[in-house]
Amino acid sequence: MNPFSYIRVRDLAQAIQEAAIGGARFIAGGTNLLDLMKENVEQPGRLIDINGLPLSHIEETADGGLRIGALVRNAALAADPRVRARYPLLSSALLAGASPQLRNMATTGGNLMQRTRCYYFYDVATPCNKRQPGSGCGAIGGVTRIHAILGTSDQCIATHPSDMCVAMAALGARVNVVGPDGPRSMAFTDFHRLPGETPHLDHNLAPHELITSVELPRDGFPQHYSYLKIRDRLAYAFALVSVAAALQIDGGRIAAARIALGGVAHKPWRNPDAEQSLTGMQANPENFADFARDLLSEAKGRGDNDFKITLAQRAIARALAQAAAGTPQSQVDKQIV
């Protein structure tokens, strides 16, 4: 690990000011950044500890939603009674992630900013366009079991590893940030990027900007939801494929549908046009299977990860069936039903 300096900031203005100093990184829970530093993937010269900022609260918004401070820990967010009652999809996704110890440290902002788990990204002896732009991609032509099947480029086929973000994308959240030019807000689905020609950029945060909060809209789909995560172990493993499904059902027909996928792309994957096509349909297995096939119609495997295409189709159909029946995937007993 390289030497670095450390400062703990007291307010947002100081945080933004300190961020402008070259080579600086914010540190929150440290559960991703410290690993990356130990592996020499990231070598910040300065750490700005933001844990003293007043961003640890969950508040009601004027339009009936919730504002989640960037420093709210994943465990606290999953356990918050308002989140459990009004946004159980989010609680469920959080509980599917990492381990209790990690969730006690991991923050909302850090979870959005966590980096890919591509093996080659972590191995500094191999080429990686994300770690070192222009060096090549070790995964393309290499081992691709965990890699993306949607929205890839010939520069990078990495996935975003978060569970929380998949639920937030499905729920239609917004991300609030502040930077040298003041505060701004963006749709959650615009926060993360596809790799394209610039895979070293994971997100659309401008230099020196800080995430302050994530806002959930009023409707949390508490009756008909499911977060289904398929992974190699039933705990403490990243998703091969995950599905956040949220439905409104009216007389057996779908009145509204939101579906986001994890483990399949460089960002939580949503297709609002496809979701719209479910509106008015009967909530039945045939329609869910057709929808899943359409959603994956442009998926492309690289050999080792070909299985993800069928896996994703089946997971989508199952998650939608669970959501429609009001029998969400349990993250407590970890039974695959």
Ligand X SMILES: Cc1cc2nc3c(=O)[nH]c(=O)nc-3n(C[C@H](O)[C@H](O)[C@H](O)COP(=O)(O)OP(=O)(O)OC[C@H]3O[C@@H](n4cnc5c(N)ncnc54)[C@H](O)[C@@H]3O)c2cc1C
Residues that bind ligand SF4 (CB under 6 A): 116, 118, 120-121, 128-130, 137-139, 156-158, 199
Q: Does 87 bind ligand X (CB under 6 A)?
A: no
> CA-CA-CA-CA torsion for 29, 206, 36, 140, nearest 10 degrees?
130
Provide the 8-state DSSP code for 305: T
* Residue of the chain from 9, 16, 18, 33 that contacts ligand X (CB under 6 A): 33
* Residue of the chain from 16, 18, 31, 151 that contacts ligand X (CB under 6 A): 31
Site map 67..86 versus ligand X, x via CB under 6 A: ---x----------------
* Closest approach of ligand X to the CB of residue 219, in Å: 23
CB atoms within 10 A of CB 35: 14
Q: Does 29 bind ligand X (CB under 6 A)?
A: yes
Task: Please choose, out of 3-11, 107-115, 131-139, 193-201, the segment that lies near ligand X by the rule CB under 6 A.
Answer: 107-115
| Range list of H helices, the chain | 12-19, 33-38, 74-79, 81-86, 88-95, 100-105, 108-113, 119-122, 164-171, 272-278, 285-295, 307-325
**Closer CB to ligand SF4, 5 or 135, in the complex:** 135
167 binds, among ligand X, ligand SF4, none (CB under 5 to 8 A by kind): none
130 binds, among ligand X, ligand SF4, none (CB under 5 to 8 A by kind): ligand SF4
Using CA atoms, how far residue 76 sits from 25, 87, 130, 186, in Å, is: 24, 14, 32, 24
**Closer CB to ligand X, 107 or 155, in the complex:** 107
As given in the structure block, the two tokens for residue 229 are: 């995560």
Which DSSP string corresponds to 105-152?
H-BHHHHHHPPP--HHHH-TTS-BTTTSTTS-BSSTTS--TT--SSS-
* Angle of the 307-325 helix axis to the 285-295 helix axis, nearest 10: 140
Task: Please choose, out of 96-104, 133-141, 289-297, 307-315, the segment that lies near ligand X by the rule CB under 6 A.
Answer: 96-104
Q: Does 113 bind ligand X (CB under 6 A)?
A: yes
Distance CA 297, CA 299 (A): 6
* Residue of the chain from 76, 78, 80, 111 that contacts ligand X (CB under 6 A): 111
Rule CB under 6 A: which residues touch ligand X? Answer: 25-33, 35, 50, 70, 97-98, 102, 105-107, 109-111, 113-114, 161-164, 210-211, 238
